[in-house]
Amino acid sequence: MPSGGRRGGSGRKRTPTQLRVLRGDPGHRGVNDREPTPPRGIPDPPDWLHALELEAWGTLAAALEPMGVVTVSDGPALTALVQAWAEWREARGTLDLEGTYYDTLDAAGNRIVRKHPAVGVASDAWRRISSMLSEFGLTPSSRSRLQVVASGEPDAFESFLGRRAGGEDRA
């Protein structure tokens, strides 16, 4: 195979460049300087989101905006996250009302206790939520790898690039 025996898409997912910049570059691999850089900001929510999804959108937008890790092109990913969140909330609401288990009878008339179908829905939705939260740096472990530069404070990498471009000597 031309890719050194590896199929495309196998292995670990690439870390988004913005997260790599915030985390630092301990492996000194550099970043893709030709990567598209959409403008930072919260994208507009789709018109078809319902109330729970819009509530989640507002909550997440309030968390993501000051972090500076979301761009206007992240709308589809943010939509997937808020839809999973709303699905989890609905399933949890059903379980709160109806319980985690229910009784039924088998063909012989014996009582059987079964898990409510909403348990599976909630579990699947939470799995998707967890995955998407780490994509946006919204879990404790993903956040612990971020290094945020305070506004007004010069970025060390940008300062380094400026020194190199300006031709200043490195002692």
User: Which residues, 6+ apart, have CB-to-CB distance to 48 below 8 Å?
Assistant: none
Amino acid at 41: G
- Asked if 133 and 112 count as a contact pair (C-beta separation under 8 A), the reply is no
Q: What is the pTM of this model?
A: 0.68
- pLDDT, residue 16, reads 67
* Distance (Å, whole) CA 136 – CA 16: 9
Neighbours of 145 (CB within 10 A): 13
- The distance of Cα 9 from the centroid of its chain, to the nearest Å, equals 19
| pLDDT score for 1 | 45
DSSP 116: -
Closest to 146 in 3D by CA, of 69, 92, 87, 70: 69
> What is the tens place of the pLDDT at every residue in 18-42?
667 777 766 677 766 777 778 888 9
Greatest pairwise CA separation for the chain in angstroms = 87
User: Euclidean distance between the first and final Cα of the chain, in Å?
Assistant: 45
- C-alpha–C-alpha distance, residues 20 and 76, integer Å: 21
- In the chain, where the domains are located: 99-140
Tens digits of per-residue pLDDT, 43-91?
Answer: 999 999 999 999 999 999 998 888 888 888 999 999 999 999 999 999 9
